[in-house]
Structure 1
Amino acid sequence: MWESNGPAVTALGASPALAAAGTLAWAVARPRAGLRQRLGRLARPVTACAALSLTTGFALPTAGPGAHWKLAGAAVLLLLLAVVTRWSPPRELICTLPPTALAVALWPLPLVTGETFLEAIGIATFWLLPVVGAVAAGAYPRRQELRRRRAVAEARSAQRLHLSRDLHDFVAHDVSGIVVQAQAARFVAATDPSHAVLALERIEKAGLRALASMDRAVEMLHGPEAPAVDPLPDVSRLPSLIRNFNAAGATEAELVMAPQVADALSREVGAAAYRVVVEALTNVRRHAPGAHHATVVLTRTATTVEIRVTNDCGAGSAPSHHRASPGGLGLPALTEQARTLGGTLSAGPIGGGGWQLTVALPTSLPKRTS
């Protein structure tokens, strides 16, 4: 039989508490470099401490100073359980939680004599409450960090999508103009060098615009500390866009827009409207190269602005069929953006073999409520 007050009993009774305290001290009483990794590796040592507590709790006498050590061991196990819940991988946490919960819930049972089964269940249930509290204390910051990481990942994904749309809508438009001008210069270089020189000048301007668009995208990647960059163009830049389009190819584009339309649109809607026109004209150049005429019409009502871009088929040409670009952008991306802004987009063939794109956007975005 064990002697209730012997040094061996005291040492064995104190061993779970000392082991748990030593485990915690090993994790935190070292340089902070690698602290998170050490805390994430505590699951197995905590499981061993819980098993030792269960073994000694029912093997040793109930009287004597061992009771105080058991209480101290349960308290340290609760602290370790919170740390494991916060930092350990889910698979290891699942293995550590049951024995640790049992060790904390059952530690007072050997100290109580004459209790009924229901009383023992009540005592164990009561001591499960601190276990729940420890798990909640570790799970809450873990959940918050997970939500933060997801928010950061979603923000990065949205930024990448935004940048890809910018590169597609603006750079692809200028590159398409460069291709058209280069093709024209190749045919007239031998017979009319002066026209070839004009085409090269237009190629240079289109290339500079494409570089400016890429510079703007790169500056956005540098975050809020980056130098200020020019804002995205809005409908006030449409006249120059139409001039550049007419100079770069055989299709003649015409803009019909009342002067007050630009002043009536918010910055976001104005940039979206400009993006719509850029994408529509780029599609005309790609998918209807034989078109003779394109019309861009912006009309405004009390609450919306309608952008309608129409092109003909061209004499002797097959009916035009505008498509999404190979990268999955183009019209699908514009449709999603229009829906995000509270608008609508429709596109399809019209009589005579032409094509029409119609987008309706609210003149201003509703204010967000916090």
Structure 2
Amino acid sequence: MTLPPRSLYAPALVGAALASTAASLARVPALWSLAGLVVILPLIGLVARWSPVRSGSLAAALGIVAAGLWPAPLVRDDGASWLEAFGAAAFWALPGLAAAAVGAHLRRNASRTRRAVRDAQRDQQLELARDLHDFVAHDVSAMVVQAQAARFVAGTDPQQAVRALERIEAAGLSALASLDRTVHALREAGGGPAPAPAPGLTELEWLVGRFEGRTVALEADQEVLAGLSREADTAAYRVAVEALTNVRRHAPGADTVRVTVRRSRQPDRIELAVTNSPPPATPRTSFSRRRSAGDGGGTGLAGLRERVEAAGGTFAAGPTGAATGGWRVSAVFPARATSPG
């Protein structure tokens, strides 16, 4: 098994430093010691850049001492004082210190680069996890709800069961499309083609249209929809997806769900809001609530808040004030500036 060259830098420097120091103390001609300095200085830089901190520090210190001692024979021959000898050693140690500083600087830059790459990879992983949560979880929850509905009506109304199965098929295809976008994003990270753009509020009507089984009201002005930046548009769509998913999971059987996109009371702001009425207090609802309480990872709303704030908006979620427990999720984004004329 061959050792990698980097593991040899510190031993090579220690050997060269000891040999140079011994030559200086043995009054070897100074020219030979100077030749050794040409070898020692690059090794100091390489050790400071690549070697482990503990062994590298010891080897670099020996190399700097050797660099300072190489002119010792010349100083002795000239009859210089101890002060002059010390000054000469300090002067010739400076190149060794400079080589160590260069190596340490390169090491620090490499460490920062690795840390930045790790942070970028972690951010990408979190982004992919949010994509899966925002879109796939929405479609899977729709499939679960429709499967439950089909089970309850299969014996009495087969036609309704068939419609539920059709909706399950549509939700499954949508989940596959979301997974396909995630795979494309992974391929892009590996140098592949760019993934398809994330959906925005232009697909809000389609999203609401699939939310069957209860009264869903959509109020959205197309002019208002066009007033969001791409980042805010994507974030707003994710808010709508997560809010509707939570209605399915935490408020099954809610009579009404209202989705609105409108100008906010604040100037130059656009608000998306999803409000649902309280679910009926039935044993089946309670069972669904118990199930959904343990199903979620607890990161949906927190992830939405981060995404909305990253797009320059504000996020809020909480009860509507009704004693029976309605809920409202809203996100307010800055309107995109439009050029005059």
TM-score category by the smaller chain?
0.7 to 0.9
Once the two structures are superposed, the pairs formed by residues 98-117 of structure 1 within 5 Å of their partners are 98-113=61-76, 114-117=79-82
Contact kept in structure 1, 2:225 and 2:261, CA below 8 Å? no
Alpha-carbon deviation of 1:328? 4.1
Please, which of 8, 12, 35 is the counterpart of residue 41 of structure 1?
Answer: 8
- 2:277 counterpart of 1:312: yes
Equivalent position of 1:6 in the other structure: none
From the CA coordinates, give the structure whose radius of gyration is larger: 1
Question: SS in structure 2 opposite 1:294?
Answer: strand
After superposition, the C-alpha distances for 1:29-65 in whole angstroms (9 at most, x for unaligned) are xxxxx89x2133221221122122222311x136xxx
Q: Give, in whole Å, the separation in 2 of the partners of 1:202 and 1:93.
A: 65
After superposition, the C-alpha distances for 1:170-199 in whole angstroms (9 at most, x for unaligned) are 000000000001011111111211111111
Please, which of 160, 185, 195 is the counterpart of residue 220 of structure 1?
Answer: 185
Q: Give, in whole Å, the separation in 2 of the partners of 1:315 and 1:327.
A: 25
Alpha-carbon deviation of 1:226? 3.0
Equivalent position of 1:94 in the other structure: 57
- 2:218 counterpart of 1:255: yes
Equivalent position of 2:196 in the other structure: 230
Equivalent position of 1:196 in the other structure: 161
Q: Give, in whole Å, the separation in 2 of the partners of 1:312 and 1:337.
A: 26
After superposition, the C-alpha distances for 1:154-179 in whole angstroms (9 at most, x for unaligned) are 11111111111111000000000000
Q: Identity across aligned pairs (percent)?
A: 46
Give the root-mean-square deviation of aligned CA atoms: 2.4
- 2:303 counterpart of 1:333: yes
After superposition, the C-alpha distances for 1:235-262 in whole angstroms (9 at most, x for unaligned) are 111011001012xxx3322111111022
Give ranges in structure 2 of 5+ residues lacking alignment: none
Contact kept in structure 1, 2:188 and 2:195, CA below 8 Å? no
Report which stretch shifted further, 274-283 or 261-270: 261-270
Contact kept in structure 2, 1:298 and 1:307, CA below 8 Å? yes
1:164 and 1:203, CA in 2 relative to 1: closer, same or farther beyond 3 A? Answer: same
Contact kept in structure 2, 1:324 and 1:330, CA below 8 Å? no
Q: Normalised by the size of structure 1, how large is the TM-score? A: 0.81
Counterpart AA for 1:187? F
Once the two structures are superposed, the pairs formed by residues 1-370 of structure 1 within 5 Å of their partners are 37-58=4-25, 60-61=26-27, 66-113=29-76, 114-223=79-188, 225-227=191-193, 229-246=195-212, 250-301=213-264, 302-316=267-281, 326-352=296-322, 353-364=325-336
1:127 and 1:251, CA in 2 relative to 1: closer, same or farther beyond 3 A? Answer: farther
| Residue-pair matches, total | 324
Q: Give, in whole Å, the separation in 2 of the partners of 1:127 and 1:142.
A: 24
4+ residue runs over 4 A deviation: 317-325
